[in-house]
Structures are given as structure tokens and as C-alpha cells.
Amino acid sequence: MSTLNAEQEVKELIADIIEMDPNEIDPNAHLVEDLGMDSMMALEILAALEKRYKIKLPEEELPKITTVNRVIELTKKYVE
Amino acid sequence: MSSKPVTLNLQQLDFEQIKEIIPQRFPFLMLDRVIEIEPGVRVVGLKNLTGNEWFYQGHFPRKAITPGAMICEAIAQTGIVFFHLSRPGHEDVTYLMGSLKIRFLEPVWPGDQLRIEVMPIKVIANAGILNATVTVEDRVVTKGEFALAAKENGSL
């Protein structure tokens, strides 16, 4: 998975959950402080990533996805 | 038809057993029986709708049709049963719905029996994203996904 693909796909996935334009999402954005997400939305991200890439993400990864960039890193780690 | 009462086994829950699990009561109890249980895999509940349901008085006075919100409530309550049976040992818990993506495919009328099947998409220790399919006589009338969080009482 290329860096560009991962970034765009994760931004689209997050945008779908928070109902926002993916182009307005900054990769450095903090999920809670900048995007107004909560813990349930973070769980939705994990579920959406699992569904999209047919992967299994352990619960321990949940507290680590604090920013969009962290979600992108997580995706690359498990998809590649 | 035999008048012999239905025998409930450990794979089912009757109305009284459901009330031991979910906190809702009249007029908000939207589950009559749980007929299939596979802890952590799926739960199937039933809700029989009669023309006497309180919400038909206003929805609508000249044509009773089941409010989608009440179908969502039936889904949520089946989700609570799923969650409770998947997490033994957590008794004093409040369940909160975090999100709901739902599609109403067909209207539901007085006399219909809702069959609500809930399966996990992603479940962690204290929350889950669940899939719900509601059928009436094998026709899918409502389907969707919802998020449920379990909060230990005292943590709210």
C-alpha cells in the first residue's frame, strides 16, 4: 500500500464517519481535539478499517489512534 | 394448533428473563422473547406488535404504522441482550447507543412479528459495533449498524 493511497483512503474513511469533506481533514489533526470524535467513533474507525481491508485489529490499538496520521500508520502496519 | 405452552430452554429467554437483563419497561419494552442465543456470535429476538401498542394512537390516528424509532429501540434492546450474554459478570451496567445507520425497507403494521437478529461487527471489552437485520415473515423490513457502549454504573 503506497503512502498516498493509505492517506487518502483513511481520510475518506474517517470523513465518512464524522460526515466531513475528506479534503478538509489534515493528516496531523487530533481525532478528539480537532475533529470532535469520541471513543465510539474511534471504534467505528477500527471496524471500518477491518471491513475495508479484511484485517483484524486488536483492541490494544484503539488507544493509540489519537491522530489521523496514527490511523494511517496503523493501516499501513496491518495491510502491508 | 396445540395450546401447549412453548418450553424455553437455555438457548432462549422468556419475557421475565429479558426483564432481568434490560432495564426498559412499559411503554418502552420492545422485546418479547429471545429465541436464539450464540454468545458472542448472534442473538435473535422477537417482538409481537398488536394494534394496542401505545404508539399507534398517534402514529397515525387514521392509519397505524410502526414508528421507525420503535424498531430502532427493539434493535437496541436486542443488542443489550447480545452484549450482556457476551460479557458475563457485568451486572450493574448502563448501555448507551453511540450511533445508528439504519435503512427502513418496508413498513411494519399491527399484527406483524419482528424477528430481530443482532451480530457483531467489532466488539471490544466495553463497546461494540453491531449489525442488525429485522424481518417480518422472512422479508427484511429494516437493517443497519449501530454502536453500543456499556458503562459500569458509577462511571457515568
B93-111 pLDDT, tens digit per residue, is: 899 998 899 999 999 999 9
Asked if B59 is an active-site residue, the reply is yes
Q: Which residues of B86-122 are buried (b: 16+ CB within 10 A; e: fewer)?
A: bbeeeeebebebbeeebeeeeebeeebebbbbbebbb
Q: Which residues of chain B have pLDDT under 50?
A: 1-3, 5-8
Tell me the C-alpha distance between B156 and B151, whole Å: 7
Tell me the C-alpha distance between A50 and B112, whole Å: 36
Tell me the C-alpha distance between B118 and B38, whole Å: 10
Picking from B122, B131, B155 by the largest number of A CB atoms within 10 A of its own CB, the best residue to mutate is B122
State the average pLDDT for chain B: 91
DSSP, res B119:
E
To the nearest whole percent, how much of chain A has pLDDT over 70? Answer: 96
Element (H, E) at A78: helix A68-79
Look at the pTM and tell me if it is higher than 0.95: no
Q: How high is the pLDDT of residue B89?
A: 81
Interface residues from chain B to A (CB-CB < 8 Å) = 98-99, 121-122, 124-125, 127-129, 147, 149
Three-class secondary structure of residue B14 per DSSP: coil
Yes or no, beta carbons of A40 and B147 under 8 Å apart: yes
A-B contacts at Cβ under 8 angstroms? 29
Q: How high is the pLDDT of residue B7?
A: 47
